[in-house]
Amino acid sequence: MKIQSVRCVYFSPTGTTKTIAESITQGISPEFVEMIDITKRLQRNSQPLLDKDDIVILATPVYYGRVPEEIIPYLTSLKAARTPVVLVAVYGNRAYEDALKELHDIAVDAKFIPVAGGAFVAEHSYSSKTYPIAPNRPDESDIQKAREFGAAIRKKLQNAESSEHLTALTIPGQSPYIEPVNLNINPAKKYSKQIK
Ligand SMILES: Cc1cc2nc3c(=O)[nH]c(=O)nc-3n(C[C@H](O)[C@H](O)[C@H](O)COP(=O)(O)O)c2cc1C
């Protein structure tokens, strides 16, 4: 299969998913790259045209072990054409739980063909000087690993007649997916109930 174009769809409020996605793209090293940033709501108004000859990267941070709820409507509205897809979940060194599996299932429903998937550690969005969680990640070694992952994807696809001929991926995770817990104990919510 010829490696021509990569369209990389990413959601990245604090920038680490973007860095990983860019590094994977560099490793794939296609002739044409389109970076599709869906971080802001307004950026989710239009749909990319996806051809079966594109390689798409879907890259998302992990929120509560899942794909962020905010971008599910956008992701489920994508229309692929048996397009090869690389699934990427970036997490803050706690756990990625069912996020990669959920992303995989969304992609299959949208008529993508998953060809590779990876979970990458990055600094947690809630990391601080007092409570550091994976500070300054992705570092040089993480970026190198992401590039090598991209290069391995390039090799895999180049050696395949088409993405239809690849073995299906086995993605870790459970179904039904983990339900976020402890979200209803926000004191502000309790307070708003009291003043009703
Ligand atoms: C609301 C929220 C929930 C999160 N849940 C998880 C989680 O379940 N596991 C984990 O390891 N990191 C979790 N994180 C950390 C992010 O996955 C991590 O910081 C990621 O690198 C952020 O990506 P970005 O820099 O592209 O925004 C969470 C972050 C936020 C804001």
Q: How far apart are CA 62 and CA 78, in angstroms?
A: 20
120 C-alpha to center of ligand 1: Å? 11
CATH number of the CATH domain containing 172: 3.40.50.360
174 C-alpha to center of ligand 1: Å? 19
Q: Tell how strand 54-61 and strand 32-37 pair up.
A: unpaired
Q: How far apart are CA 177 and CA 53, in angstroms?
A: 31
Residue range of the domain that includes 10 = 5-194
Q: What is the pLDDT of residue 160?
A: 92
Bridge partners, 5 (sequence order): 32, 54
Q: What is the pLDDT of residue 190?
A: 47
Q: How far apart are CA 150 and CA 44, in angstroms?
A: 26
Best mutation site among 66, 71, 125 for ligand 1 pocket (most ligand atoms within 8 Å of CB): 125
Indicate if the pLDDT at residue 189 is higher than 70: no
Q: What is the pLDDT of residue 181?
A: 78
Q: How far apart are CA 31 and CA 164, in angstroms?
A: 22
Best mutation site among 124, 131, 179 for ligand 1 pocket (most ligand atoms within 8 Å of CB): 124
Bridge partners, 33 (sequence order): 6
- Structure confidence at residue 187 as a pLDDT band (50, 70, 90): low
Least-confidence region, from 31-35, 60-64, 160-164: 160-164
Q: How far apart are CA 182 and CA 120, in angstroms?
A: 25
User: H-helix or E-strand containing 7?
Assistant: strand 5-10
Mean pLDDT of 3-7: 96
Q: What is the pLDDT of residue 165?
A: 86
CA atoms within 13 A of residue 109's CA, in its CB half-sphere: 13
Indicate if the pLDDT at residue 194 is higher than 80: no
Indicate if the pLDDT at residue 18 is higher than 80: yes
Q: How many domains are contained in the chain?
A: 1
Which residues make Cβ contacts (< 8 Å) with residue 155, sequence separation at least 6?
none
Bridge partners, 172 (sequence order): none
Indicate if the pLDDT at residue 186 is higher than 90: no
